[in-house]
Amino acid sequence: MLYVIGHKKPDTDSIVAAIAYAKFKQMLGIEAKPCRAGELNLETKYVMKKFNAKVPDLLEDATGKELVLVDHNEPSQIIDGYEKAKIREIIDHHRLGGLVTSEPIFVYIEPVGSTSTIIASWFKEKEFEIDKVLASLMLSAILSDTVIFRSPTCTDKDKKIAKELAVIAGIEDVEKLGIEMFKAKSKLAEKSAREIILTDFKEYTFKTIKVGIGQVETVDLSELKPRIEEILQEMDSIRTEKGYNMLVMMLTDILKQGSLLLYSAEKGEWFVNAFSKIKMERKGDRVFYAPGIMSRKKQIVPPLAEFFGK
Ligand code: MN
Ligand code: MN
């Protein structure tokens, strides 16, 4: 029996690729079972429920099993006990991450947007039937991994396969499905302002200036717009409480590809001066919209380092 399994902390692609590839193996007459290496995230839960799909069983330890790894190959991401298992195959779309095996194995890695893209293309090649549920799942996995076709990792092949899967699944508005999935994942509406600020928060020191930068990604900024005042007030509290000189918050719209930037600072002019070279539109007191600004590391930190001095 082959146990087909994705990475720890599974995402939608890891779960769906395991289901799809186990099915593919079965159609080739090989005994295979899809498994998962951990709890489903909120997005995957939403997808599985929406399409009434069976959730793969949890495999806690791989000792003694024959494994097919999908959607990963880095040792740190592989299920516990894999050293005492036999890894037979790897189907993936990530870089090689240093796994060593005792025997030759089948490895297929293609730089496309999702593992599900690869497996769907194999169903097509073999002219194996893809049922409606499986098509819906594989489409969802592609949408998830490619951030609804926006990620730089998304290829023409992903788009083409997704289109074909959408037809089989009978899903007309693919974008809408993607947005629903990302909303289910972030559950922003249920989070407090403090959680929104601190969930993905990093701290930087420029000379003597301590800056905290938070980021939240959304597919629909209108979800957050009514809460901007509340978020600003909470930023003020956190800044005083934790002794930051400045806090910046990025509310990033991954579909429109831009961010609302909010700040709380000891000196009001810091923000405007530090980001004087960035195209921004004032949206309110301490609120700017910056089109094209998506990356804290590449676009927000460098101007601050430049302004305050490294
Ligand atoms: Mn993954
Ligand atoms: Mn993936």
Query: Cα separation of 21 and 294, whole Å?
Result: 34
Q: What is the pLDDT of residue 3?
A: 98
Q: Report the separation in Å between the CA atom of 21 and the middle of ligand 2, taken as the mean of its atom positions.
A: 13
Q: What is the pLDDT of residue 223?
A: 87
What are the DSSP calls for 221-264, one per residue? GGGTGGGHHHHHHHHHHHHHHHT-SEEEEEEEETTTTEEEEEEE
Nearest to 275 by CA among 202, 211, 196, 193: 211
Q: Report the separation in Å between the CA atom of 146 and the middle of ligand 2, taken as the mean of its atom positions.
A: 9
Two tokens, residue 128: 């194996």
pLDDT-derived band of residue 139, with 50, 70 and 90 as boundaries?
Answer: very high
Q: Report the separation in Å between the CA atom of 113 and the middle of ligand 2, taken as the mean of its atom positions.
A: 7
pTM of the model: 0.85
Q: Report the separation in Å between the CA atom of 202 and the middle of ligand 2, taken as the mean of its atom positions.
A: 26
Checking phi first, is residue 243 left (phi over 0); if not, alpha (psi -120 to 50) or beta?
left
Tell me the pLDDT tens digit for each residue of 59-89: 999 999 999 999 999 999 999 999 999 999 9
Nearest to 55 by CA among 14, 25, 87: 14
Distances (CA, A) of 56 to 36, 38, 129, 210: 6, 10, 21, 46
Tell me the pLDDT tens digit for each residue of 240-268: 999 999 999 999 998 899 999 999 999 99
Which residues are placed with Cβ below 5 angstroms of ligand 1, an ion?
11, 13-14, 71
pLDDT-derived band of residue 160, with 50, 70 and 90 as boundaries?
Answer: very high
Whether 149 has a pLDDT exceeding 90, the answer reads yes
pLDDT-derived band of residue 39, with 50, 70 and 90 as boundaries?
Answer: very high
**pLDDT average, residue stretch 36-45:** 96
Q: Report the separation in Å between the CA atom of 145 and the middle of ligand 2, taken as the mean of its atom positions.
A: 6
pLDDT-derived band of residue 151, with 50, 70 and 90 as boundaries?
Answer: confident
Whether 310 has a pLDDT exceeding 80, the answer reads no
**Average pLDDT along the chain:** 95
Place of tokens 């779309």: 93
Place of tokens 């909010």: 262
pLDDT-derived band of residue 187, with 50, 70 and 90 as boundaries?
Answer: confident
Q: What is the 3-state secondary structure (H, E, C) of 1-29?
A: CEEEECCCCCCHHHHHHHHHHHHHHHHCC
Q: Report the separation in Å between the CA atom of 13 and the middle of ligand 2, taken as the mean of its atom positions.
A: 5
Whether 41 has a pLDDT exceeding 90, the answer reads yes
* Lowest-confidence region among 74-88, 183-197, 269-283: 183-197
Where helices occur in 187-227 by DSSP H, the ranges are 193-198
Q: What is the pLDDT of residue 81?
A: 97
Measured over the CA atoms of residue 197, residue 201, residue 203 and residue 206, the dihedral's sign is negative
Two tokens, residue 303: 């101007």
Place of tokens 């002019």: 269
Query: Cα separation of 123 and 138, whole Å?
Result: 12
Q: What is the pLDDT of residue 186?
A: 84
Q: Report the separation in Å between the CA atom of 92 and the middle of ligand 1, taken as the mean of its atom positions.
A: 9
Q: Report the separation in Å between the CA atom of 114 and the middle of ligand 1, taken as the mean of its atom positions.
A: 8
Percent of the chain with pLDDT over 90: 90
Q: Which ligand is nearest to the CA of 91?
A: 2
Q: Report the separation in Å between the CA atom of 275 and the middle of ligand 1, taken as the mean of its atom positions.
A: 35
The helix or strand, by DSSP H or E, that contains position 154, with its residue range, turns out to be: none
**pLDDT average, residue stretch 86-106:** 94
Q: Report the separation in Å between the CA atom of 70 and the middle of ligand 1, taken as the mean of its atom positions.
A: 9
Q: Report the separation in Å between the CA atom of 71 and the middle of ligand 2, taken as the mean of its atom positions.
A: 5
